[in-house]
Chains A and B, each alone.
Chain A
Amino acid sequence: MNKRITAGAAAFALAALGFALSPASAAVKTADESSCGTAGAFCVGVVTDTGKVDDKSFNQAAWEGAKAGASKAGGFSKYIESLDSKDYAANIDLFASKKYNVIVTVGFLMADATVAAAAKYPDIKFIGVDQFNGTTAANFSGLIFDEDKGGFIVGYLAGYLTKSGKTAAIAGGPSTIPPVRKYIEGFANGVAYAAKEQKKKLAKASTVYYTGANAFNDPVWGATTAKQYLSQGYDVIFAAGGRTGNGGLAAIAKKKGAFCIGVDLDQWLTLPEAHGCLVTSAEKRLVAGVSSLVGQIKGGTFKGGNFVGTVGASPYHDLASKVPAAVQKKVSATLKKLIDGSLPTGVKQ
């Protein structure tokens, strides 16, 4: 009996490790959903990946973009938070059954579910944030970004800011997720480029990827890993990856003299605990990307395929005084060259 209980407990513990225990889905209403599907109605639904809609990162930006796009088009918007990756299809179905015009799915992990749904519901337009669309479906557009350029530009800045010559990047997810890998490799190449430009010998940027069961959702791992880097003298650290990255940023902020770099959004605005170190963020202009795609759908100019949004480095905010004016100028010049393509990042696509 006892043995059985222990075995049960252990099995339960192991099983539970695999789940992110999450609360019931929440939803926000700005108008009545029941009018969706009637003539003139324009409804935009957002399905998050297992992060939350106020994750200060990806899901939040997609949701804000959808909200902005919908309100510009006079429509209404609503979101569903996915509790588990198994729920992606069911959540998409939920919006589809209520005859939404546009369904936005967030994150690389939802790519398969989105492709399947686009085939299943040809009358609904799909926007796959951070999903490369390899299909020919006319009702599905992937919103993609050149993460390597975003990573490169902040790496370039890091190469100028580091005093110890040791820079690092912490990824909140595995390198098998292309956006994660491109950010991190872009960062390393940016550091190397800055070293070459300064004719300084900087160590190759050190990188670490998280591959546990809680990708993007393990702030304690992020913080501990950041501390491990700090104790080895790394002084500019790029922490990329949802709440895992946020944990790292918060931990670095407590160390005097260290710089940290955020990701996806201007994290200065959303993560006050990182203000001590946050010099910039490798930013995907997600809000603009989603809202302009929603606008295209409303205006009838929407095409399938992929839509490349813009990337950039967020403002330096209070840490602007720590970045010499000459460096600031170099960063904006380099960013321009990256965006127009005259400076390749050297990262495999």
Chain B
Amino acid sequence: MSKLTNHEDYEKTASFKFWRWLSGSKDPYVGVVELKKQEEFSEDAETKAKRISDEEALKAKIYDTDKNIVVKVSRILYRIGAIVLCLAIVAALIICVAYLPPVGSELNPTNNEVVSRYVSQGTAETGVINTVTGMILQYRGFDTFGETCVLFIASSCVMILLMVAESKIKKMNEQYALEPKEDKILQTAARILVPVLFLFGFYVIVNGHLSPGGGFSGGAIIGSGLILYSSAFGLEKIQRFFNEKVYKSIKVTALILYACTMTYYFVTGANGLTNIIPMGTPGNIISAGMIFYINLFVGAEVSCTIYSFYALFKRGGL
């Protein structure tokens, strides 16, 4: 026998809300979730007429093909030339592909001593289980260092283009309502997902030398977690733990440490000095010498960069 509860208590239960939703008497999303009707684009008749007439006048002037024979001929020639050139390049590349060695054949030139050493001695020489990480961070470490600098310079370049002053961000925020409203679905999802994303990203980074993944992929996962948090809770909440100061210090520390590690590696390697970073047992979390640490640095740099792209494009500042 169930106990009869009074109506006020009953209204708080989940079953009441469920039946209310089912009967359609109250939509649970109204007032809680951001639902905004899109404003229709409107333009008064006068400006519209002016815009159209301006455009047409300009077009008529530029493309007056009846009178301007040069434009007419050059337009036709340009189009024909572009098509012919494209077709010629496509044809040349297709012919070239036909002459390339077949995919996966044993006798291919790519199947040589380089690959065989990476596969057979990769674990012994670099201490990694995941050979790909060994290849990009040890054998070809200089390339990867350059690649990390590409990310750094790309984020700096976006800053040159989009960075606005701190005071202006707040003003723009009020004007264009850039910040999210309290959106229940997004916030609930973010509450559940963000810790998982951070944890998983960290897992991918620290296991970079053992399983597929590493600094680049793990950093991207952490960065997407930051983006989700920021778009659910807004600028103020994320600035409590991730503002421009934190961003800069993490990024610069990671990159400087990375540069130092690489310099140490280049100089000791080329001069035949002993490397004092312990290699550890292959398979352990802390093993593979410097690769473990480089993955950490790359992860920090990549997560910061990914988030900074989002923040700069959204509001012009971190």
Partners in one complex: no
Name B's A-contacting residues (CB within 8 A): none
